[in-house]
Amino acid sequence: MEGKYDPVAHEELTEQAQIPWKKKKSKTENKRRFSDEQIRLLETIFESETKLEPRKKLQVARELGLQPRQVAIWFQNRRARWKSKRIEQDYRTLRADYDILASRFEFLKKEKQSLILQLQKLSESVAEPHDKNKASKGVDGDTKCEQSNPSFQQAPLEGNELLGLQFGNSRDMEHAGQAQAREELVSIDEYRNKSPVSPEILYGFDLADGIFGQSCSNPQWLNFWGREDH
C-alpha cells in the first residue's frame, strides 16, 4: 500500500464522481476493448513499470484519451494476468522438478532391489558348507555399523562381508575361492555403467563419498534402505 495522497491524482476522484457508484452500463452503451494502439502503449509502459505513479497515470490517460481510472484498472488487471501466468510457469517448473525426482526415486528403488538380490546370492554362496571357517571368522568387522543399526543386524551378511561388497575388497572372496561372487560385483558395475544416466548425475551426489561412503555412519540411511515399504 504505497499509495500516498497526491492532489494531482485527486483529479481522478472528480472524474470518478461523475460515474455513479454501482452503475451498470447498458448494453447499448459503447464501451470496451481498447484500441490496438492503446493496448500497445499500455503494454510498452507495463514492461518498464508494472505500477503507475499517479502523475504518470494521468499523463498516460491524457495521451490515450482514457479516464485515469481506466488506466489504473487496466494496470490492475494486467498485473493480475501477469501474476497468474507467473504462477502457471512456476507450477510447470515445479512439476518438471518433481517428475525428475520421481523418476530418480523409481530408479533408485529398482537398483535397491537389484542390490538386495545380489546380496542374497552372495550370502547364500558364502554360507555354503565347504567354507565353514569363513562364516565364523569375522575379519576387522565394522562394529559401528552393527551396533548402530538394528536392521543391519538382521541382514544375512555380517558387516565385514558387506564392506567387501561395497568397497570391492576381494581378499576374503579369493580366500574362499568364490569366482561367482566376483562375477556378481562385475555385474553390479555393469549395471551402473549401463544406467541411462550417469549415477553421479542421477543421484545428485558423488557415489564414493555419498550413498556408500556414508552408509555405515548414518543409521537412518540404512534404516531407510533396509525397509521394504518404499
Separation of alpha carbons 205 and 218, rounded Å? 16
Closest separation in Å from C-beta 58 to DNA: 9
Residues that bind DNA (CB under 7 A): 1-6, 9-10, 12-13, 19, 21-27, 31-34, 39, 51-52, 54, 57, 69-70, 72-81, 83
Nearer CB in complex with DNA: 17/194: 17
Smallest separation, CB 6 to DNA (Å):
7
Which residue in 105, 111, 106 sits closest to 188, CA to CA? 111
CA distance 120 to 179: 16
Shortest Å, Cβ 152 to DNA? 51
Residue among 73 and 102 whose Cβ is closer to DNA:
73
For DNA, the closer CB: 85 or 182: 85
Least CB distance to DNA at residue 90 (A): 14
Residue 145 sits at the vertex; the CA angle it makes with 184 and 155, to the nearest 5 degrees, is 50
Which of residues 14 and 220 has its CB atom nearest to DNA in the complex?
14
Helix extents (H) in the chain: 11-18, 36-48, 54-64, 68-126, 132-137, 143-148, 150-153, 159-166, 171-176, 179-193, 199-203, 219-226
Q: How far is the CB of 56 from DNA (least distance, A)?
A: 10
What phi, psi does 133 have (nearest 5°)? -60, -45
- Distance CA(170)–CA(185), nearest Å, equals 10
Nearest to DNA of 83, 110 (CB atom):
83
